[in-house]
Each structure stands twice: as structure tokens, then as C-alpha cells.
Chains A and B, each alone.
Chain A
Amino acid sequence: MAINLETNEERLSPSTPPQAPQSPRSPQSTNPGGGGAWRTVLREHSVYFALAALVVFNLIVTPGFSNPFAARSLLFEAAPIVLIALGQNLAIATRGIDLSVGSVMALASASVAVFLPYGIGPALVGSVAVGALVGLWNGFLVAVLAIDPLISGLALLVAARGLAQALLGGSRVNLPDAPAFDLLGAGTVGPVPIIMLIALALAAVVAFVVRRTTFGRYAILVGASRGAAFLAGIPVRRTLFLVYAVSGTLAGLAGLFASSRLGASDPNYVGVNFELDAIAASVIGGTPLSGGRISIVGAVFGVLLLQVLDASFIMNNISFTYAQILKAVFIVVALYLQRSGA
């Protein structure tokens, strides 16, 4: 019988002693002094402040950023990542992780081309269904076979992309002009892409599910303590299974969105390293990797933050090499500021 599970599993996250929780919910954790209060607010909402600061900076410095098309283009890029960040957040809340999402996007993208001969409808549905299938398989591995999600995700990350490439013989396949793809790939309402609206609507649904449904609560309870959840009669396996299935399905949808945007099925480049962006966005948005907590709104803003960051490098023509270093520094500093002062 393992004791002290909770500290044992702090590993994915900052190792705060369990007696010293730093939760926004704890009344004790707010500093009594007036000076500390605003600092706490700043820290807990750092992702919003950081995004605001970055946007202001870009508006002043970056040529073309104030162009409404800049926002539009950013939102197009961000929509698929928002979707996979949603699934990722659920997985992280259960103290897991889903590394397969980027490759699942590629597989879904390849599936669009594979199902196209049967019509546009089957292509749309089929690609998302393939994502769901991979998610179910991942869920089976994690929930039933109790494989560590990091490893099952890693194996799927490699295998799903291989499968995607094998399906299309490694090549990119252009999608035909069809209203459905045009709508997803280029349609906007005002400056906001339709796919972003869909992603936001799904984010709202997930946020509601997390807050108000048993499934959402189960996910958090399972993440907070697996052992306690089991004894409290919570359907641990079913919850885990569902979480990964949802994550896979959302990744499938993200793959469809990305393909529509590209006007092509691209098994090679769709979703490469997106899992890392989704994880980073979640953490920056306030969902700790050690589970038991979740912040959907934070994750959405985390995704936007990283997208704006990428865009500011490209638009200022900062060489990729330096951009990568700067991005790394930015992530570390952002998270450091979130932690310190606690």
C-alpha cells in the first residue's frame, strides 16, 4: 500500500509541499497585506496580462499587426490548437497527458482525403471519427491496461503519423473546391473565423462540463487522488477512458480544420509539435501538470498568447534561430513569475 501518494505524484509539477497549497480558492493563500493582494491577482491572471502586454507591444512595434487581417490570420492558426488544448486540459486534469494529439490531427487530415471518394459528408465525419477511434484506443490503453499516458501517447505519436503517411503514400493531397471546406477554411463572421467560433463554442461546452457535470468533476477528482477517487466509488476507468476519447475526437476535428485551412490533406506537416504547444498553453493558462485542477479559459488565452508570440517573431522578421531562444526564455519567465511570490 503506497502511502503519501500525493507527494509521490507531484512530479509533473512544481513540488509544493502539500501543506502549503497555493490555490486561488484558498482564503489563506492571499496575502493579508494590501501590497501582496494585487500581486496575487497579477500572478493568478498572468496569462491575460501577458497577452494584453504582448498585444500592446505588437501594436506599437510590429508593422501590420494593427491590420484586422492580422487578428483574423492569428485566429485561423489558433483554432485547431484551441481544440487540442481542450482535450489536453482534460487529460492533464486527470494527472495525465495526451501526446498523441498532433499526430492524430495528421491522421484525421489524411482521412479527409481517404474518405473523399465517398463524398464530402463522409470525409468530414470520417476524419473526426478516426480521431475518436485513436482517442478510444488511447483511453483503452490508459484506463484498462493502465499504461502510463505519457508512454501510450508517445507510441501513438509515432504510430499515428506513420499511419497517416502510409495512407496517402507520404504525399500531400489537394482537396477539391467544396463549400464545406471553403466555409471551414476561409469563412469568417466579421473578423472571426468560423472555425474559431466553433472552437470557442466547444471551449464553452467543455468549461461548462468541467464545472457543472459529474463527468467534469470526476475528471478532477481522479486527478486529485486516484486512490481516494476509487474508494469514493468514482468510475475511474470510465472517466479516464472518456477523457482520452474526447481528446482524440477534438484532435480529429482540429485535423479537419487544419486541412480545410490548407486546402489539402497533409500527413507530414499537419500538427507537428502541436502537442507541445497545447501543453505549454495549458500550463501557462493555469492548469498544473500535477492534475486536480483545470482552467479552460486560461488555456484558450494561453494558446492565443503563444500564437501572438510566434507571429511577433515572424512579422518582425526575427530569424527562426533567435525566435526559438526567445520563445524558450519567454515560457520560462512567464511560468517563473506565476510561481514566485507565492
Chain B
Amino acid sequence: MTTSAATSSATPRAVLETRGVSRTFGVVRALRDVSLTLRAGEVHGLVGENGAGKSTLIKVLTGFHQPDTGALTLDGKSVTFDSPRGAQNAGVCAVYQEINLIPERSVADNIFLCHEPKRFGVLVDRKRMLERAAEIVQRYRLSVDPAARLGSLGLGAQQMVSLARGVSLGARVLILDEPTSALSSAEVDVLFDVVDRLRAEGIALLFVSHRLSECYRLCDRFTVMRDGAVVRTGTPEELPRAALIAAMLGRESSGEHAWTERSGSADTADAAPALAVDRLQWGNRVRDVSLKVARKEIVGLAGLLGSGRTETFKTIFGAQKADAGDVDIAGRALTHATPARSIARGLAFLSEDRRSEGIFPRLSVGENIVASLLPRISRFGFISRAKEAQVVREAIERLGIKTAGPNALITTLSGGNQQKALIARCLSTQPTVLLLDDPTRGIDVGAKEEVHRVVQELARDGLAVVVTSSEMEELLALTDRLVVLNEGATQGGMPTAGANPDDVLAVLAGDANDSRDVSATRDVGATRNPAGADKA
């Protein structure tokens, strides 16, 4: 693993600094007196709980928000960025937490938006743009077609495009806000490779992640934020894992990897499994999926980026109409599935795309939580206020959602708390089968623990759970067994007890080698041997 080899001796030059930055939104003090220094050739890790103010700080650095007080200096000179454009022109670029690209435009268009190569001074040189995009895409081993519509790519691929853009802009300061949250481990390796190279080129990097192992793998220095303020800074040596977590949470924690081991108490003896999927097909993305989940069992759906996990969930759930195959819930066939019918039959689904398929912006936390439950808390179409309030209150309590109250707008919550509200929505219908697509995406250590606790409790209470995660370790710790998905087809499974990530990758790699998909092979190759992949 690459670490801060060249940087420990002399302190490198400071590039971008903030001094005493504060920012409030109404009564929320998102940032208080934050000072931060980004140095050339250094990866600076920014960690903190959900809602600690990381994304807000980044938006201040890139000119999206103006600080209420405090100042920015770039190369020792005081600067103000009045827009992301201004920051971009000064060489400060960001890959934002929520992917912010244009789905209807091509990959190349997205990479070169606002700095397109030109012809005759005014016209965009499309040919050169595509060529250069192809170059960049190849250099960073992104397996995407530069002419493809961005929206046709998976979230992970879009994240990589976002990164490619930052690089192509020739940024001197590159900010990555949870860039890995949508990536599979193979993709993460490619990303880290890129980051290492950029560091070597003397670029100042800011890295935000809730995956502490990644932070330790990559960062030269940490800043820990809590409640909008900087509480600690230091090198990885000065801040070992336990200290870091304590600083983040403001208390001791059981530790990031203290996943409770599963006891393996699945009701496999049951006559009918809680969920049985047989040879499910949908277009060319879900080609042949079969799986069985018993009550009290937690099954992980493992696969590389774009292997069809999301599509599998959506097809089971009836959000898209299956072309072939059967879904049985507790032995009874689920026909003509639609989300409403599936929910009525005891399914619940959490989308990975919180922003466009999860939250109802403009509505309150409470209204968000009860959205799926309305038929059950109403009589003759009239909603019972009392029941609604009770459900919301219990949900907020049970999941520990940090909100000013049930009537606060969902958009004022931090990402992690929004996610918890959505999990609460899934649970509100008292499902028997839970389909969770990357439920811990972008949520902090503490919240993750809580989500795990909740999921495991639910399983203990008799639910069947199918879950994906872009973090292999998490998946192994959380689940009883894995079902491996490759190119839209299930390829058997493996129990998780005692397994480690490399075992899973081996399974994936083996399968991938059989198929003709070169990219999958290459990705896995990259995981195991970055150096070798470089030559490929």
C-alpha cells in the first residue's frame, strides 16, 4: 500500500488554506471557525460524523457557498471564490458527494464542459474532444465509452467520470467528497492509483470518506470535524483508529470493525423460503438470477460494479417488469408485481439512489417516513393523524434520526440521517423481506453500526434480508452468506463465516475469467496487482 513516503520529512508548501471559516444556515451552524491547510503533494483526510460539516466546508472551498466569516488563501494570497467557476479557474476542483453531472449528455461532454477544446476560437472541436476524452478514460482505466450518454452508466462509473473531469481540468487542488461510496473495491483501487499519481505530481488533495480503512491507506494527514468545528488534526501516526473515532464521535466507540458476528440462525428448515427468485430476467441487464432467502437470514448480493445488483432488486420488487422468471414470497407467487403490490405482500426496497428515488424533497421527515404506510394508517382514505405521529415518533427514536423534529424538512438533514429516515420508511410497512441496495452508502461509522444493529435485529425477529454493499468487508461481516452476481447472472454462493474479501474476489475473478468480459478481469487484476495492471 502506498503511504506518505515522501512527505514526512519536510512540511510541503501550503496551497489552499482556510482561516476561521464559519457558515450558518438559518439556525444551523454548519461550520464554526474552521481552519484547514491543504499542502502540495499531500492527501488530506477529512473525517467526521454525518452532518459534521464536511460537505459544507468543501462547498465553501469551491465557492458554492460563501463563508459568513473567515478567509481563504491560495498560495498565501487571500482569495474569494464567488462561484464554483471562479474556484475552478483558480485550479480548485471538486468531485462532489452527490454526483453532479449532466445525465443526458455524453461522457466527453461532461468531462469537458466549460473547457471544451476549440476550433477557430469559437467552435467546439468535437473530434478532438472525443479523442482527448478517450485518452483520459484510457489513462485512468475507466471502461466507459466517451460518446455514451452519461445517464446510461452506473453510479460508480459516473463517479469515475467526475474524477476524470477533475483531473482533465489540471487542478492544483482536487477535492474528493466521498468518492468511493459508490465504488466497488476494484474501482476503488483504480481510484487510489489515480490519487497516488496525482499526489506524486504535487497536487494537493482533500479526501472525505466514512471508510476509515481507506483513509488510513491513503491519507498523509487528518482533520477531524464534529458539529461544524475542527476537533483534531494530525498524521495517521498521531491519530490511530481508536483515537480518530473517539474524536469523531466525541466518545469511545466499540470500534469500526466490531461487526457483531452473525450467529447463523437462519430458518432454513422452513418449508418455503421467505423469498425465492427463479431464473429472473430483465432485458440484457438481468439475465439469469436465482436465489433463495430464508426467514432470519441475511444474504449478501456480491458483484462488481454494474453486475446488475440494482437491476435485480428492482426487478424483484416490480419497479421494472420482469421478462421471465418467478418470484415467490413465502411460497406464494408474486405475479404482476408493482412496488405497491410488492409492499402489500411484505417486500420492502431501499434504493441506492437516495436523491432521486428516495427522499421527497420539500416534505418533512415525518411525511417522508410514512409515505409507504399511508394505506395502513388511514381508513376510507382518511389519514389518522394520531397514528401517523406515533409511527414517526417511534421511527425517529428507534433509528436515532437526528432532526429538529418530525416536521423539519428532510433536505435539512445530513445524508446519513436522510438514509436512516428512508430505512425507517422501509421498516414502517413491517415487511417480511427486506431488499437493501447499499444501505450504508455515505453514512458515518456510528450510523453504520446502528444500521447493522437494526438489520441484524430484524433478521433475528424473523425477517429475510438481501443486502448489497460496495464495501466487501462490511458485506462479509453483516451477512450469513453471499450470492455472487456476474453480468446479471447468479453464480452460486459462499458462506461468509471465516471468509475474507480476497476469497470473494477469487470467486468473482474465476467467474469473470470464464466469461469474455475483459474489463472485469482487468478490474480484478488491478485489485490484486496494481503494478501489473499498470502495464496492461
Binding site for B on A (CB under 8 A): 1-6, 18-21, 23, 25-32, 212-215, 217-218, 220-221, 224-225, 227-235, 292-293
Contacts and interface: CB of A to CB of B under 8 A. Distances in A.
Interface in B376-410: 378, 381-383, 385, 404-405, 407-409
Interface in B298-348: 317, 319, 338-340, 342-344
A27 B408 contact: yes
Contacts of A20: 25
A30 B28 CA distance: 11
B181 to A, nearest CB: 14
B22 interface: no
B455 to A, nearest CB: 19
B57 interface: no
**B-side interface mostly:** mixed
Contacts of B344: 233
B362 A23 contact: yes
B319 A218 contact: no
B446 to A, nearest CB: 23
A294 to B, nearest CB: 11
Given A214-B382, A292-B362, 5 more contacts: A3-B355, A26-B409, A28-B25, A213-B383, A227-B356
Nearest to B340: A233
Contacts of B359: 225, 228
Given A3-B103, A224-B362, A214 B383 contact: yes
B412 interface: yes
Contacts of B27: 27-28, 30, 32
Nearest to B152: A1
B354 to A, nearest CB: 9
Nearest to A32: B27
A88 B360 CA distance: 21
Given A26-B412, A234-B340, A224 B356 contact: no
A3 B353 contact: yes
B357 A227 contact: yes
B207 interface: no
Nearest to B59: A19
Nearest to B56: A19
B412 A28 contact: yes
Interface stretch (B214-222, B225-233, B366-374): B366-374
B99 interface: yes
B235 interface: no
B100 A220 contact: no
Given A227-B356, A233-B342, A29 B26 contact: yes
Contacts of A21: 361-362, 409, 411-412
Interface residues of B, number: 52
Nearest to A28: B26
A29 B408 CA distance: 10
B223 interface: no
Given A224-B362, A292-B362, A229 B371 contact: yes
B411 A228 contact: no
> Which of B25, B101, B362, B381 has most chain A Cβ within 10 Å?
B362
B356 A228 contact: yes
A212 to B, nearest CB: 6
Given A2-B356, A3-B99, A221-B363, A214 B404 contact: no
B432 interface: no
Nearest to A216: B383
A28 B28 contact: yes
Contacts of B349: 231
8 contacts: A5-B356, A6-B355, A19-B411, A23-B409, A212-B385, A213-B381, A213-B383, A227-B356
Given A233-B342, A292-B362, A4 B382 contact: no
Interface in B425-472: 425
A292 B361 contact: yes
Nearest to A223: B362
A228 B411 CA distance: 14
Nearest to B26: A28
B151 A212 contact: no
Contacts of A225: 356-357, 359-361
A220 B368 CA distance: 11
Contacts of B342: 233
Contacts of B357: 225, 227-228, 231
B66 to A, nearest CB: 12
Nearest to B317: A231
B363 A220 contact: yes
B358 interface: yes
Contact of A30 (B26, B356, B374): B26
B404 to A, nearest CB: 5
A124 B101 CA distance: 54
A214 B374 contact: yes
B404 A221 contact: no
A292 B344 CA distance: 25
Interface in B245-303: none
A23 B151 CA distance: 31
Nearest to B98: A4
A292 B99 CA distance: 23
Contacts of A212: 382-383, 385
B372 A233 contact: yes
Contacts of A233: 338-340, 342-344, 372
A340 to B, nearest CB: 17
Given A26-B412, A30-B26, A229 B353 contact: no
Contacts of B358: 228, 231
B371 A221 contact: yes
Nearest to B360: A224
A2 to B, nearest CB: 5
B329 to A, nearest CB: 15
Contact of B383 (A19, A32, A217, A234): A217
Nearest to A17: B64
A230 B342 CA distance: 12
B364 interface: yes
Given A3-B99, A214-B375, A217-B383, A232 B425 contact: yes
B142 interface: no
A30 B25 CA distance: 10
B404 A28 contact: yes
> Which of A19, A30, A220 has most chain B Cβ within 10 Å?
A19
B351 interface: yes
Contacts of A31: 26
A29 B404 CA distance: 12
B504 interface: no
B61 to A, nearest CB: 16
